[in-house]
Amino acid sequence: MLRARGVVWLTAAWLAAAWSCTGQETTAEIVVNLRTDLVPTEEFDRVTLALFSKDGIDTGQRQSIVVDTESFIPGRRLTELQGIAPGDYLLEVQLDDESADRPVSKRPVLVTVSESVSVTVPITRSCLNILCEPQLDGEEPRLTACLGGRCVDARCTLEENASCEERATCDASKNTATGNEDCPVTSACAVSECILGSCWARPRDPEDGGACDADREWCAPEVGCFDVGTSPSTNPASTSCDDGVQNGDEVGIDCGGTCADCPAPPAPRCDDGIRNGGEIGVDCGGTCAACAISPVVALACRDGARSGEETGVDCGGSCTPCPGSDDYPIDIDFDCGAQDDIPAHECLALLALFANTQGPEWNTTDGWLTPTSMCTWHGVTCSDGAVETVTFADNNLVGALPRELGNLSEVTELVVTNSALSGSIPPELSLLGQLRHLEFSSTALTGNIPAEFGQLGQLEVLHLHANSLTGSIPPELGTLPNLNSLRLNSNRLSGSIPSELGSLSQLTDLFLYDNQLSGAIPEELGNLTNLRNLNLHRNQLSGSIPPELGNLSDLRLLHIARNRLTGSIPPELGGLLRISQIWLHENELSGAIPAELGSFPALSLLLLYDNQLTGPIPAALGNLSNLRALYLNENQLTGAIPAQLANLSALTTLWLHSNLLEGEVPSSLASLGATQVRLSSNACLWATDCGTLVSWLNSRDPAWQSNNAGPSCTLPPEACP
């Protein structure tokens, strides 16, 4: 990436609504500002904005801004959203690392646009591994955004700081030029400061000493200085020959360069899961068995010469139509036979993509159809005389993907995002035997996921989310030995989750949420020992939670809310040693809350509300030292509130309302810093501490006692009036 210095202010304001000369309200213009302690162009290089109604309906207002050192000036206007009618909106601001093809952080902001609103969106590095579900329903705003490592109200901004958490983790009055004593940093190149009660980090000013070399380095606050364009994972100084990563001067994983020589590759075989030798697909074609799908064009159409009935090099006749011919989609004057950057059939595949997706209307067409090298065309890179990557983000591709893309036989990355593609995914893409990253996200594709994708033996990333795909998830995807990220969420997929997905031994992320999937959660998912994120929420899944999920010892996120799950919560989930967030709400779960849920040292969110859970609240939940939000409301829990909950020193939200709880409210709860507390609509709760505790309860939930619903609720004489 490019270099940048300092903590960034991307000034975010919403301008006043426009009024006509007659006084009638029309529309507002939105100017977006952002403050972040992430380092631009080193840790993120793109900012994406999307505007939704408060109910989650997409307004169609989307923008994506590439970060560079010239445009990324502190205080400079980032972008404008125009023609916005007054009302309540949810603005999503996402930071992306496009060079690594990954989202860095997303922050939703709930804003009311009337005459004039100014909003500066804060995004902190301490929120990188925190997920706060974007949920806006309910009587009160729920914890939907992250700030300083904790989930906060989505209205929390630098302007609306009253909507931020009242319990601060630091004191802003202690901010000095050399840092804040409440916010320790681990690197000498960084300085801490307290903003909105949360700790931020910024690079140290050179005049203060200890700063990175401004001409060639940047500061990663947790680690130290790194060369521009490198990161803690790629910097040669941090590499070793046994870290399981190809870095430094290695030519393979932990081999080559200053490490031991890499072993010679094995001889090609028809069962090695690799397209090699004379194969035209993975383990098929050539001397192997025939491929399930034939090549897009015959071998005679890939020989780099004009032959037979061809009217151009590798085109015309029975081959791909030649550019400029009567049956070509658009008028293009480009001779693939006259260039020698890449094979003619690969050139024709690129032109087919351009012609079928309204290339002249793309946002960026730099280099396309010009005499410059095809390997410098926007979105295209090459290696060893062949196309290596084809990537288009927010480039306004409109139309169908051409089957000729299956001719890019050496391509390793094929990505199109945030475009208006139509039609289905060509199954011919299964011929791309070297493909490691395949992504079509937010593109409006329809149809089924090709089962032939099970032939992509080198595939590591398959992202097809935010489309309109239908049909079932192909079981063949479970045969991809190297797949580490599978994102099929936000489609219209139906049927069951294939048990074959439990064979994806390298999988770390499985996102299938926001579909119409039904049936049980396969117990085989418990075999995914490398899984870190499992998100299946907002489907129609039924049956019980498999106890085998407790085998996922590296899992950080378990999100299976808003389904139709029944049965009890398995005590085996106590095996989730690194779990950070558990979302089981809005199902039909019954039985008692297992005491094993109190054994998670890193758990920050536990959401069990709106189920049919019974029995007492386990006292063991008081052991969750990092818990920030506990939602047990809208169940049938009985007994007293455990005094051990007062041990939850990090707690900000405690919702126990709409249960059958009874007895004295422990006076020790008043020591909690929680600002959102609800105890109303229970059987019979009362207090004997009429001073501190009652004052604390009344300030958070004035109706905490008035809605006691038990038929035999008789308060003892010592109860506060």
So what's the pLDDT on residue 324? Answer: 80
As a whole number of Å, the end-to-end CA separation of the chain is: 65
So what's the pLDDT on residue 413? Answer: 97
Q: Say if residue 541's pLDDT is above 50.
A: yes
What letter does residue 470 receive in the DSSP assignment?
-
Residue 161 and residue 157: Cα distance in Å, rounded? 6
Q: What's the average model confidence in pLDDT over 216-242? A: 59
Look at residues 153, 98, 104 and name the one whose alpha carbon lies nearest to residue 124: 104
Residue 65 and residue 394: Cα distance in Å, rounded? 9
Q: Which residue has the higher pLDDT, 493 or 708?
A: 493
Percent of the chain beyond pLDDT 90? Answer: 47
CB burial readout 44-83, b (16+ within 10 A) else e: bbbbbbbbbeeeeeebebebbbebeeeebeeeeebeebee
Q: Say if residue 24's pLDDT is above 50.
A: no
Residue range 435-444, pLDDT digits in tens: 999 999 999 9
Residue 437 and residue 582: Cα distance in Å, rounded? 29
One-letter amino acid for residue 61 of the chain: Q
Residue range 659-699, pLDDT digits in tens: 999 999 999 999 998 889 999 999 999 999 999 999 999 99
Residue 402 and residue 428: Cα distance in Å, rounded? 9
Q: What's the average model confidence in pLDDT over 73-81? A: 64
Distances (CA, A) of 312 to 319, 335, 338: 10, 8, 10
Most confident by average pLDDT, 43-47, 136-140, 228-232: 43-47
So what's the pLDDT on residue 657? Answer: 94
So what's the pLDDT on residue 250? Answer: 56
So what's the pLDDT on residue 257? Answer: 67
pTM: 0.63
Q: Which residue has the higher pLDDT, 358 or 206?
A: 358
pLDDT band at 147 (very low <50, low <70, confident <90, very high): confident
So what's the pLDDT on residue 69? Answer: 56
Q: Say if residue 291's pLDDT is above 60.
A: no
What letter does residue 139 receive in the DSSP assignment?
S
Q: For the ranges 40-44, 63-67, 148-152, which has the lowest average pLDDT? A: 148-152
The pairing of strands 684-686 and 660-664 is: parallel
Residue 652 and residue 249: Cα distance in Å, rounded? 47
How many beta carbons lie within 10 A of that of residue 290, not counting itself?
Answer: 11
So what's the pLDDT on residue 493? Answer: 97
Q: Say if residue 13's pLDDT is above 60.
A: no
User: How far is C-alpha 103 from the chain's CA centre?
Assistant: 6
The alpha-carbon radius of gyration of the chain (Å, integer) is 29
3-state secondary structure of 208: helix
Q: For the ranges 1-10, 27-36, 222-231, which has the lowest average pLDDT? A: 1-10
Q: Which residue has the higher pLDDT, 420 or 287?
A: 420
Q: Say if residue 298's pLDDT is above 50.
A: no
- Which token pair is 698? 């009344």
Look at residues 447, 395, 392, 444 and name the one whose alpha carbon lies nearest to residue 422: 444
Q: Say if residue 294's pLDDT is above 50.
A: no
Q: Say if residue 252's pLDDT is above 70.
A: no
Q: For the ranges 191-205, 530-544, 574-588, which has the lowest average pLDDT? A: 191-205
Greatest alpha-carbon pair distance for the chain in Å reads 103
Q: Which residue has the higher pLDDT, 582 or 298?
A: 582
Q: Say if residue 295's pLDDT is above 60.
A: no
Provide CB contacts within 8 A for 687, sequence distance 6+: 664, 665, 667, 693, 694, 697, 705, 719, 720
So what's the pLDDT on residue 350? Answer: 94
What letter does residue 320 receive in the DSSP assignment?
B
Please say whether the beta carbons of 407 and 349 come within 8 A. Answer: yes
Q: Which residue has the higher pLDDT, 457 or 79?
A: 457
For the chain, the 3-state helix, strand and coil shares in percent, each to the nearest 5, are 15, 30, 55
**For 554-598, where are the E strands, in sequence order?**
557-559, 564-565, 581-583, 590-591
**For 640-691, where are the E strands, in sequence order?**
653-655, 660-664, 676-678, 684-686
Q: What's the average model confidence in pLDDT over 37-59? A: 73
Please say whether the beta carbons of 9 and 24 come within 8 A. Answer: no
Q: Which residue has the higher pLDDT, 265 or 323?
A: 323
Chain-wide mean pLDDT for the chain? 80
What letter does residue 475 receive in the DSSP assignment?
G
Q: For the ranges 250-264, 327-341, 563-577, which has the lowest average pLDDT? A: 250-264
Q: For the ranges 318-322, 469-473, 627-631, which has the lowest average pLDDT? A: 318-322
Q: Say if residue 25's pLDDT is above 50.
A: no
Count of alpha carbons within 13 angstroms of residue 391, beta-carbon side: 16
So what's the pLDDT on residue 534? Answer: 97
CB burial readout 542-569, b (16+ within 10 A) else e: bebbbbbbbbbeebbbbbbbbbebbebb
Please say whether the beta carbons of 90 and 54 come within 8 A. Answer: yes
Distances (CA, A) of 190 to 39, 184, 216, 222: 12, 10, 16, 8
Please say whether the beta carbons of 549 and 535 come within 8 A. Answer: no
3-state secondary structure of 179: strand
pLDDT band at 367 (very low <50, low <70, confident <90, very high): very high
Q: What's the average model confidence in pLDDT over 64-79? A: 64
Residue 679 and residue 664: Cα distance in Å, rounded? 12
So what's the pLDDT on residue 282? Answer: 56
Residue 59 and residue 90: Cα distance in Å, rounded? 10
So what's the pLDDT on residue 234? Answer: 41
Count of residues making up the chain? 721
Q: Say if residue 445's pLDDT is above 70.
A: yes
pLDDT band at 647 (very low <50, low <70, confident <90, very high): very high
Q: What's the average model confidence in pLDDT over 473-494? A: 96
pLDDT band at 268 (very low <50, low <70, confident <90, very high): low
